[in-house]
Amino acid sequence: MAKRGIFILGLVALVLSFARAQESVTPFMGYHAELIRSNTATPVSVNVSLRPDGDLSRTLEQTFGRYNEVGLKEGSAESREADIVWVKEGGRWLQFYYNGGWRAVGFRNSDMSGYMLPHTGGFFIESRSSTNWLAAFGGYVRRDSMVYNVTPGFNILNRGFPLPIPLHRSGIERSEGFGSEDIVWLYNGDSYDRYYYDNGWKKFGSSGDYGSAIIPSTLVIQTMGPGGRVVLHPPQGLQPPKTLPRRTVVPPPPVPNVGMAFTQNERGTELFQISWNAFGPKVRYHTEVFESDWFKISSKVGQPSQVLEDHAIMVTAAGRIRLWWGIVRVRAEWVNPSLNKAL
């Protein structure tokens, strides 16, 4: 498997945080990796955002890079050299490709780099490569539920979150726009499995309960009725708190300005790395990662402006994928709160 396509989406310092009991917490950050299969069309979504507000809208350039940093095969679409990005727009399909710039079939030599991919939409990458390859996307992690407006027919949707979500925890079946005749199509790597809800999630052609079936990066809802509002919920640990944090006498320490990057170490291992400048020895930083809940992986104290960092191993030098996705946050707290009455 080729290790091209490791790309991060122009990520900069964090500007938002929330405080609780003398601590500051960064917005959630993360990444997800997608296996693009050779000589076929793979459903893909970018389920991280450019900004902490969780808006998943982005242009072609912001998605794949100004100069195709994500690594699509370049060339002419007419001669079937280039990989094609298929995007559904209303009742038509647009075909984008890279050939010295972002182009689209039927738009001659127009610059399509500013074309805006929808906030809730997925797309397909038709790869003409002879081998499978990996694309990884990093950014901020959305915390609010995804809300889709589905219409009769096939709706190609993004999952909205970088981690896998089982059907029975998604809440799709409770949505007013999801009917008993509607079908959810989920890609299994080779083909599509079809699911419907009837007092539990069922799978066409099989018996038993399939609520544990995982929603991949992209899902397709085939709406048989009128459609409407469909909601997909994140895991509880990612959802915003329902109450405001209580005010404390001692103000929290400054939120760390965390940067994100995909990097490679001297052994060729691909890493997702976060880094920030320490406020000073009065502040302790805790790096926490999310699985089914949050847990701490490290604690650090640094000198003023000292660079602190943590990382996750995504792909080994031998090409083995270690972590398909990751979500992280950094908490900052005073080492001795009683000595910090004010900043």
Per-residue pLDDT, 83: 97
Q: How far is CA 191 from the centre of its chain?
A: 22
Per-residue pLDDT, 17: 44
45 pLDDT band (50/70/90 cuts)?
very high
DSSP single-letter state for residue 162: S
CA distance 87 to 43: 10
Q: For residue 203, is pLDDT > 60?
A: yes
H helix or E strand, kind and range, residue 224: none
The two beta strands, 58-59 and 116-117, are antiparallel
CA distance 198 to 162: 28
Of 129, 290, 120, the closest CA to residue 218 belongs to: 120
DSSP per-residue string spanning 167-219: GGGT-GGG-TT--TT-EEEEE-SSSEEEEEESSSEEETT--S--TTPEE-SEE
Per-residue pLDDT, 242: 77
241 pLDDT band (50/70/90 cuts)?
confident
**Quick one: residue 319, left, alpha or beta (phi over 0 = left, psi -120 to 50 = alpha)?**
left
5 pLDDT band (50/70/90 cuts)?
low
DSSP per-residue string spanning 28-68: PEEEEEEEE-TTSEEEE---SBSSTT----EEHHHHH-TT-
Region 17-28: what's the mean pLDDT? 74
CA distance 171 to 151: 18
Region 127-142: what's the mean pLDDT? 95
DSSP per-residue string spanning 286-318: EEEEESSSEEEEEEEE--TT-EEEEEEEEE-TT
12 pLDDT band (50/70/90 cuts)?
very low
Q: What are phi and psi of 30, to 5 degrees?
A: 180, -175
Per-residue pLDDT, 182: 98
Dig out the tokens for 23 from the structure.
Answer: 């601590």
What's the helix, strand, coil split of the chain in %, to 5?
5, 40, 55
DSSP bridge pairs for 312: 272
CA distance 105 to 58: 20
Per-residue pLDDT, 186: 98
In whole angstroms, how large is the CA radius of gyration of the chain?
22
CA atoms within 13 A on the CB side of 133: 23
Q: Which residues contact 90 (CB under 8 A, 6 or more apart)?
A: none
pLDDT digits (tens, 9 = 90+) for 276-292: 999 999 999 999 999 98
